[in-house]
Amino acid sequence: MGITALSDLAKSAICPRLVVKVGSALLIGADGTRRAWLAGLVAELAAARARGQDVIVVSSGAIALGAAKLGLPKGGRGSLADAQAAAAVGQIALAGLWAELLAAEGLVAAQLLLTLEDLEDRRRYLNATATLGRLLDAGAIPVVNENDSVATREIRFGDNDRLAARVAQAAQASAVLLLSDVEGLYDRDPADAAARLVPVVKGITPAIHAMATGGSTSGLGSGGMTSKLQAAEIADLAGIALAIINGTKDSPIARALDGSIGTLFVPRRKTGARKAWLGGRLRLKGALTVDAGAAKALAGGSSLLAAGILTVDGEFRRGDAVAVCDKVGRVLAHGLVEYDSADCAMLRGRQSGEHAALLGYAPRPAIIHRDQLALL
């Protein structure tokens, strides 16, 4: 029994573990934090817990809060240094606020600050999984944010939408609820009077991507619809549902779930946990472009052989994660390579029978074995 409607997100039997992401624009108003609104949301989280659901919060707001305290321009997003300083100041206040309001509902808050690398590296990812699992078992509510003060530009998530989806993968959650400042995904620019809310999405096709317009409208967060669709793709890989709902209203979760107002991305598949982690990786060491024959073979479940590789980009080592792309640059899969980039380049386009002579040692059966390939 899977999640097929927004109301399912309130059912502990169908949705035993929920990740709720709260954006900066919801938490912070013109006069500082929106305490009353947040207290209402926390009451809803407590209600979810009372229904028997595990709840993980992914909370933005550190940068915006810190920038206000330090008097930094552009909401602290003028430069990376500003954002890092702002986050360091704001995170204390943010965590304190969550701890205080959750405690008022009799709940214990647990702070987890993660970087992109914490979830890209398999060992650290499993560590995060174990910590989240233990906290939930012990009855706490993990409150997660990106560790913005140490993450440099290259190694940042940059938005909490994708962070929430990765956390959901790590915690094996059933669904992610993204609280936004819009009702959900519209079929065109929401400013257009003809725009309609899309209630259910099954598969994030190019047509769905075309509906998303640009970055954050509030200017406080960094998300926008594009990063929400990326989050939906990451969740989908792991068989996790994702919903975008309007968080600006009172009791936003009940409003959206009871009234069926929002967009639900119904997952189409359930890749094994390890392949979901691989497919959801955001940083890759290189890319292999393959011909049409190889693309077809991959879709049929085969390993990637050298004969079908057209180009090798990037510098990588055996065991690194790379993208596998078709000729027009579409990413078909993520995989862990069996050879360094130099050897891949040497073997590219060559039949298996030639490999031993080229390498000078017994070759491996494939460039990427099918067990190490996550099709996207």
Tokens of 97: 């606020």
Other C-beta atoms lying within 10 Å of the C-beta of residue 258: 12
Q: Which DSSP state fits 146? A: E
- DSSP state for residue 31 in the 8-state scheme: T
Three-state secondary structure call for residue 144? strand
60 binds ligand GLU (CB under 6 A): yes
Of the candidate spans 28-36, 140-148, 318-326, 368-376, the one that interacts with ligand GLU by CB under 6 A turns out to be 140-148
Q: Does 75 bind ligand GLU (CB under 6 A)?
A: no
Subset of residues 9 to 38 that bind ligand GLU, contact rule: CB under 6 A:
24
Shortest CB 259 distance to ligand GLU, Å: 26
Question: Using CB under 6 A, which of the segments 30-38, 55-63, 133-141, 305-313 binds ligand GLU?
Answer: 55-63
Give 164 or 332: the residue with its C-beta nearer to ligand GLU: 164
Which is closer to ligand GLU, CB of 218 or CB of 271? 218
**Near ligand GLU by CB under 6 A: residue from 222, 230, 246, 289:** 222
Q: How many Å apart are CA 140 and CA 135, to the nearest integer?
A: 5
Going across the sheet that includes 331-336, the strands are 309-313, 286-290, 321-325, 331-336, 373-375
Is 61 near ligand GLU (CB under 6 A)? Answer: yes
- Applying CB under 6 A, the span of 32-40, 62-70, 260-268, 323-331 interacting with ligand GLU comes to 62-70
Site string for ligand GLU, 338-357 (x = CB under 6 A): --------------------
Concatenated DSSP letters of 65-127 = HHHHHHT-SGGGTSSHHHHHHHHHHHHHHHHHHHHHHHHHTT-EEEEEEE-HHHHHSHHHHHH
Distance CA 24, CA 51 (A): 27
The site for ligand GLU, by CB under 6 A, has a size of: 15
- Residue tagged 């702002």 (tokens): 86
Nearer to ligand GLU, 23 or 239 (CB): 23
Residue 202 DSSP label = S
User: What residues form DSSP beta bridges with 144?
Assistant: 58, 112
Q: Which residues 6+ apart lie within 8 Å of 4 measured at CB?
A: 266
> Can you tell me which of 221, 224, 239, 280 binds ligand GLU, judged by CB under 6 A?
221
> Contact between 84 and ligand GLU (CB under 6 A)?
no
Query: By C-beta, is 12 or 213 nearer to ligand GLU?
Result: 213
Measured CA to CA, the distance from residue 314 to residue 286 in angstroms comes to 4
Give the end-to-end CA distance of the chain in Å, rounded to a whole number. 24
Contact code string over 141-160 relative to ligand GLU, x by CB under 6 A: ----xx-x----------xx
C-beta closer to ligand GLU: residue 68 or 366: 68
State the minimum distance, in angstroms, from the CB of residue 168 to ligand GLU.
Answer: 15
Instruction: Kindly state the smallest distance separating residue 360's Cβ from ligand GLU, in Å.
Output: 49
Stretch that binds ligand GLU, among 6-14, 96-104, 180-188, 215-223 (CB under 6 A): 215-223
Pairwise CA distance, residues 161 & 179, whole Å? 10
Q: Is 62 in the site for ligand GLU (CB under 6 A)?
A: yes
β-pairing verdict for 108-114 and 286-290: unpaired
CA distance 97 to 220: 18
118 binds ligand GLU (CB under 6 A): no
Under the binding rule (CB under 6 A), the answer on residue 224 touching ligand GLU is no
| Binding stretches for ligand GLU (CB under 6 A) | 24, 60-64, 87, 145-146, 148, 159-160, 221-223
